[in-house]
Every structure is written in structure tokens, then in C-alpha cells.
Structure 1
Amino acid sequence: MKLKHIFLSLIFISALSCDKDDANYEFVEVATPQIMSKAEFRKSVAIVTPRDIEKAGKIYAYKDYIFVSDVGKGVHVIDNANPKFPKKIKYLKIPGNEDISVKNDFLYADSATDLLVFDISNINSISLKQRLEDVFSIYNFQMPLGTRFVNNEGYNYQTDIIVGWTVTKEKREKIDNRLIDFAFEGAALNSGTKGSTTGQGGSLARFQIVNNYLYTVASHEMIIFNISNLTKPTLASSLYAGNNIETLFQADGYLYIGSTDGMYIYDLVNPEKPTRLSEFVHWTGCDPVVVDGDYAYLTLRGGNNCGEQESVLEVIDIKDKTKPTLAARYTLENPYGLGIKNNTLFICDGTAGLKLFNKENPLKIYMVKQFKNIQSKDVIPLEDKLLMIGGNTLYQYNYVQDGVQLISSFPLK
């Protein structure tokens, strides 16, 4: 009997111990990177025939062409000589691509860690002219949302590129909501002049060309390239630029950086080493920025992984670039990109569509028109028309007296 009681007691104690141990563990999603050698990754760049888009990203306009990114995969080239009937003509397969910029028929594109230069002077015979390897230490891994752990065993940032993820559920020790650092060794997780012709991107851009320099931003870094020789850019400098950077805008000799934490203003007195003049801090939210005269306009999108619940437009007084101040705030629904043409402010309010605001008085902005029942993500107000992308559709509008009028809607898929 005594042995039986001892045995039962040991089982009971063991059960208590297991319960205690189980309380310290939980099932979580673990992301394991799918990797490709850099050598193979670099061989996969190609100029091919048009194809359907998978996930439309950013838009860029240059001459009679529109470039639409296929998030993380490449760039679709669209002939827009006739805006009523745009036509896909080429696809640039660029794995790991987020942004492009164009100057004088040379297109600059990121490909994960590398900068590529394409000659597009003959749009029917585009060629890759140059590749600067390993100039971006930070690139967008497209980390799956909701994952809290990363299994990076076998990944070598010096020789490998992350091209996707495998997600599994595993039992892991609880972390008590501590801040998780997903950084891998050596890489962080995230992602015109007179006489020249430079293209124009939207407010979600991370690339900007100013004179003979290409400015690029990653999650916390600015990397600057000298493009005096268009076919042979050189890495000029890199610097810490701020936290959680998302967008880059240039106007009148200044760079305006949008981050989830605020807006940073840099001057370009020394173009290779921009100087930070100030920072405007706001609550955490996704934050593109555009500038017109003495005011900057920021949209903050909440209700998602950007960190804030409210979605608003903020108008920032930047007369004194060293002391930007909040001038006005307006409620929105779920804004993304924005743009300005004369006294009209165009805001892509996500599922709420495209909204047009009169900003003649920046302190008393009011909506004059709304295009509902469309998905809107970003706009480019060109001189003669407005370009907008939303969902997998490219929209084009003429400017008319009371706003804009649809020219065409072009499905990309």
C-alpha cells in the first residue's frame, strides 16, 4: 500500500509540474525564411512580355509611360500615349523590388540588396546596364503578419536572399509581450533639373531624384547615390535618418521623410550629406507626406499594424523648417497616398474612395467631391491629368472646373 501511495503521489506531483510548465508556454506562429543564393537571385532579373499583375504597388510616371510595381516581384511598363486606351508593353522581372526612379531614360530600381540601372531609351529593347551589389543592407522581407518568432537557422545574410516564408505553429516559451526584435545579423526587417527629364512618383515613394543624386530610404537609413554618370551611379553616403521610415518626398531643396512616428525635415545644402533640421512627432500611424509652399500634408492611417486607431489628415506649418507645428487636423477613414494640384488636395481614402479637398486656406480645408465604390491607394497629379491606383486598377482623370473627370479605368489583372 505504501508503495502505491508513493507512486500516486509522484504522478500528482508530476502533473502539477506539467501544468506549471504548460502555463509558461504557448503555441505561436513561427516564420522560417525561404532563401535563395544571391548568385541565383541576381540571375533571375529579366525583361519579358506583359503579364497580369499579382499585387499592385506603387505607380510612377515618365513621359508617355506609366510604371506599376508588382509588389516584391517587378515592374509593369504601360504605354500611355493614349490615356483612353493604355497598353501593357513590357514586364521588368525584378525580384525584391519596391521602388523606381527615372532620369533621362535611365531607370533605377532596387532589387533587395542591389541597385539596378536599366536603359529605357528604346522602350521595345530595354536593357540592364549596371548592378551595384549589396548597397542596401536593409530590404523588405515581406514578413508574414502575426508571426512572433523567426527561425533563421541556415540563413546567411552575406550569401543569401530571403524570397518568401514558411509559417508553422510551434510550442514556445511565453514572452510576456516583450518587444520582439526580428532583426537578422547584418540586416533589419522592413524593407528634376533644368535640361533633364525626371519622372514623378506618388506619395508612397521611397526613391527621389534631386539634381545629380538619387536619395533612397529604408526602415531607418538614407542611402545616397551620385548619378552624375547615369549609367554608372556610385554610392555617395549612407546615414541614420530616423525610425520606422516609410516615405520620402522632395520639394524646394528639402527632403521630407514620413515615418510611423512623425516627419523629418532635411536640407540639401550638402547634397551628399543632408542635414536634419527638425522632427515633427505624432502618434504612431502609417504616414505619407506631401508639401506645398509653407505647409506639409500628412495622412495617418490607423486601425491596423500601423499602431493607431484614428485616421486623420494633419496640416503642418513648415514656414520655419526648424520648428514645424501642427496647424490643423481633419478626420478620415483609412487614408493612404495623397497629392496636390493647385488648390486641390487629392486623398486616397482606401475603401472610402478618392476624395478631393479645397485647400485654398490650408487651415480650413473642406471636401468638394468624393469618388465612392472604388479602392484608392496612391495618386500622381501630373500637369495634364491625374493618375490613381487602387486595387489592381489604374485610373486616369482629366482636370475639370469642379474637380476631375474619368478618362479610363485600366484593369491590371
Structure 2
Amino acid sequence: MNSIKIFFSCCIVFGFLSCSEDDPGKYADYLVARPLTITLQEFKNGVEVVSPKPIAESGKIYAYQDYIFVNDKFKGVHVIDNTNPASPRKVAFIKIAGNVDISVKNNFLYADSLTDLIVLDISDINNIQIVNRLQNVLRDNVVWPLEADIFEYDDWGNPDNVLIGWEVVTERRLIDEVPQRFEDVMMANAAENSVGQGGSLARFKIVADYLYAVDSHSINIFEISDLANPVDMEDVYAGFDIETIFNRGDQLFLGSRSGMYIYDITEPSNPSFISEFQHGTACDPVVVDGDYAYITLRGGNGCGATESGLFLVDISDISNPSLTASYPMEEPYGLGIRDNKLFVCDGSFGLRVYDTTNVPDLVALQHFEDITTFDVIPLQEHLLMVGEETLYQYSYNDVSLELISSMSLN
């Protein structure tokens, strides 16, 4: 019996008021997840450059020369001309089914499309060209939204459909119906190089002639000396629940839900394990500066931990990283560091700015409240930050940031 039939039956017997969805004894709010799918044919033909369009859900941010690329989760990449930071403008949307990450070198853009690697020539930003597609070279990074209470789908497992992501919404449901629905679903589940800069949430990282793309367990390696024709190298198993990648010199720092893994890339085609730092289970990006790694841990939302914070890890002995200090946070996401300033995106609690001159003793400089923040890139001249469908840009001075512009992505 569906909810509508239950509702009217209940009203006939007990009266309208006793069956209202405001009745806390019968109804409650639940997070309901529904799959976002496209047909297999749409996926195969799912790369296209089109006119600018409103963003559906802002994801990661990437900067290259005078352009900013903002991921639209599972849909593609918005291209923004940032020649004038006070007045950025959209110039195109690159439609890429299932996309969440990009990286750019010498006008060649690399993007994931579920298990495929897409290569585009962006030398003429007004005439972006698709030049290559490597099929089945990446692990599918679409993960189940563990924070959801209910999973709903009518046609799961249809070989003609491709899962590209999940939509999670809050809905009011009859309490008595929810446990069985959730149980049923869980049982059913089984020259000088020009390289851009991504934020701390990136899974793609270009280092010299190699592109490193992490999935939940491995480092996927591509040799890109011929930029239009990447060579898929042997993957390296790296750990569990890997989420992000950061590079410093000949080292890769991988953020996972259980800790930070450090790999040596002196031999770039064969990363070798150096050490790891373990922490409680939580969502985990990492950036590195000097003798310290900065890690944000976001509890809740299916990440495992209940508390959130900023961890400072001493890596002066790279083979034996150790926790030095921690600072409480509310719901941190991306972070970035430049010139003794640390920027932490604290979700709906805004942007926090710290002075790291006397690290590990951080000094709070500014807190931009009343904005939702997700990912941040400290550039040489100014700061880029993406929030809830908004791109923010700030100028630096010695002690503070000042807003240059805010651009709605809708």
C-alpha cells in the first residue's frame, strides 16, 4: 500500500487531524536517496561543449591561467573567464557524464567520465575540442550516500542504464514504513610546463609528465608526455577509502577516511609507500606546507566520526608522521595554505583564516560567516573559493582578506 492510500484510509478511520503529516507519532523527516541515471548510449555520447548554463550542484574548483573551472557534480564543468576577477564571466559548459575531477597541462584538459578518461584541447577556449577518450581505465567513483535513510529506485541493475550519481532530499514519511524499505534496499545492494591548480578535494594531480588519479583503493597512473595520447600505466594499490591527492616535490599525500598515506614518486611510474598517519574514520582532505600536513576531518554525513576538526601533523620525519595539535571545526571541507595563511572551508559555518607563522600555534585572523564554503585555491594574487552555487574571490593583504567579487553560478 503506498503512502497516499495509507493516508486516506487513516483519515476515514481516525479523522483527518490524527493522520496529518505533522503528527510526530506517525511521521518523521528522512533523507531519501534516488539514483541519477542516463542510458548507456547517452553515456557513450556524453561529452559535448555547449553554451553556459546554470549550475545544478557546485563541486570542485580548478584554476588554469585566466580561467576557472567549476565542476557541476556528475554533469560536467563550467568554464569561467577570469581575466578580470572583479567581473568573471561564464564562457562555456563542458558536458561530461559522471564527471567530478579535472586537471590541465599545456592547454590539454583531462577529465573523468565514470570509468573513462577524457582528453580535451582547450587552447582555443571558444572552440574546445575532444581529442581522446580512454575507456575503462578508471575505477567508478560513484559511491552510495551513506547518510541516506532510504534508497529508492525502480529499475536498479538495468544494463541499459548507467548510474552517474545520487540525489538526496529530505522527505516526510510514515515511520512504520521506513525500516522495511531501508532493509530491503540494503539487502538488494551488492617548454615550461603550464599546469593548473586544483583545491584540496582533488582526486587528479599532474606532476611533470604523469597524471595521478586516485580512486578508493588505488593510484591510477597515466604517462602524458604526448599530451593528446595518455598511456595507461599499471595501477598501484594504496589503501582504503582514499578521497584526495596532494603533491609536494617527489611526494604524494593521499587523504583517506582512515588517515593520510605518503608515497614517493622519485620513480614516477611506480609510486612507493613511505608512511601513513592514522586517525578516526572521517572525510579527509590534506594540504602540506613545510614540516606540517594540515588535515580536516569532517564527522557525520556517513563519514564515520561524530566530531570534526583540523589536525596538524608533523612530517619533519617523513617516515614517522605524528599528530602535533588539533583545532575544533563544525563541518570542514577543503583547505589551502599560502604565505603563512591557512584557509579552511567550514561548510555552512563559513571560511576561517589562520596565521601559521608560529605553527603549530595557529592564530585566528578572520571568520567569514553567513556563507557556505566548499573548496578553496590560494593563488599568487588572490583567493578563489566556491560555495553553495557561488564563486567568491578575495584579495590578500598582510592581515586580512577583502572581497573582490562574488558570482552566482546559477
TM-score band, normalised by shorter chain: 0.7 to 0.9
Say yes or no: does 1:121 pair with 2:123: yes
The structure having more radius of gyration, on CA atoms, is: 1
C-alpha change, 1:81 and 1:283, in structure 2 (3 Å) is same
Give the drift of 1:323.
0.7
Q: 2:149 aligns with which of 126, 146, 151?
A: 146
The 5 Å alignment of 1:106-185 reads: 106-140=108-142, 143=145, 145-147=148-150, 154-156=157-159, 161-163=162-164, 171=180, 182-183=189-190
C-alpha change, 1:313 and 1:169, in structure 2 (3 Å) is closer
Match of 1:65 in 2: 67
Match of 1:284 in 2: 281
Measure the CA separation in 2 of the matches of 1:260 and 1:182: 22
Question: Runs of 5+ in structure 2 lacking a partner?
Answer: 1-29, 169-176
Counterpart code for 2:137:
V
C-alpha change, 1:165 and 1:279, in structure 2 (3 Å) is closer
CA contact (8 A) 2:145 2:302 kept: no
Tell me the alpha carbon deviations over residues 35-90 of structure 1, each in whole angstroms, 9 at most, x when there is no partner.
Answer: 54544312121100000001000000000000000000010000000001000000
Measure the CA separation in 2 of the matches of 1:46 and 1:256: 33
Say yes or no: does 1:328 pair with 2:329: no
Q: Which moved more, 1:65-74 or 1:350-359?
A: 350-359
Q: 2:53 aligns with which of 36, 45, 51?
A: 51
The 5 Å alignment of 1:286-325 reads: 286-325=283-322
Give the drift of 1:315.
0.4
C-alpha change, 1:195 and 1:344, in structure 2 (3 Å) is same
Q: 2:213 aligns with which of 212, 216, 223?
A: 216
Counterpart code for 1:333:
E
Match of 1:261 in 2: 258
TM-score (norm 1): 0.84
Counterpart code for 1:399:
Y
Counterpart code for 1:313:
L
Match of 2:82 in 1: 80
Say yes or no: does 1:399 pair with 2:399: no
Tell me the alpha carbon deviations over residues 133-163 of structure 1, each in whole angstroms, 9 at most, x when there is no partner.
Answer: 011132215657234798886445xx75224
Give the drift of 1:302.
1.4
Measure the CA separation in 2 of the matches of 1:44 and 1:258: 30
Say yes or no: does 1:99 pair with 2:101: yes
CA contact (8 A) 1:29 1:170 kept: no
The 5 Å alignment of 1:164-243 reads: 171=180, 182-183=189-190, 195-243=192-240
Q: Secondary structure at the match of 2:235?
A: strand
Counterpart code for 2:388:
G
Tell me the alpha carbon deviations over residues 174-225 of structure 1, each in whole angstroms, 9 at most, x when there is no partner.
Answer: 69xxx98954xxxxxxxxxx71100000000000000000000111121010
Give the drift of 1:92.
0.2
Give the drift of 1:241.
1.4
Match of 1:4 in 2: none
Measure the CA separation in 2 of the matches of 1:31 and 1:377: 21
CA contact (8 A) 1:214 1:227 kept: yes
Measure the CA separation in 2 of the matches of 1:149 and 1:48: 32
CA contact (8 A) 1:35 1:155 kept: no
Match of 2:92 in 1: 90
C-alpha change, 1:360 and 1:149, in structure 2 (3 Å) is same
Tell me the alpha carbon deviations over residues 253-302 of structure 1, each in whole angstroms, 9 at most, x when there is no partner.
Answer: 10000011000000002111101111110001111100001110001111
Say yes or no: does 1:339 pair with 2:336: yes
C-alpha change, 1:369 and 1:51, in structure 2 (3 Å) is same
C-alpha change, 1:376 and 1:154, in structure 2 (3 Å) is closer
Measure the CA separation in 2 of the matches of 1:310 and 1:30: 24
TM-score (norm 2): 0.84
Question: Runs of 5+ in structure 1 lacking a partner?
Answer: 1-27, 184-193
CA contact (8 A) 1:148 1:180 kept: no
Counterpart code for 1:383:
Q
Q: Secondary structure at the match of 1:140?
A: coil
Q: Secondary structure at the match of 2:361?
A: coil
Match of 1:20 in 2: none
Q: Secondary structure at the match of 1:139?
A: coil
Give the drift of 1:34.
6.5
Measure the CA separation in 2 of the matches of 1:382 and 1:270: 29
Give the drift of 1:120.
0.2
Counterpart code for 1:88:
K
Q: Secondary structure at the match of 1:40?
A: helix
Say yes or no: does 1:374 pair with 2:376: no
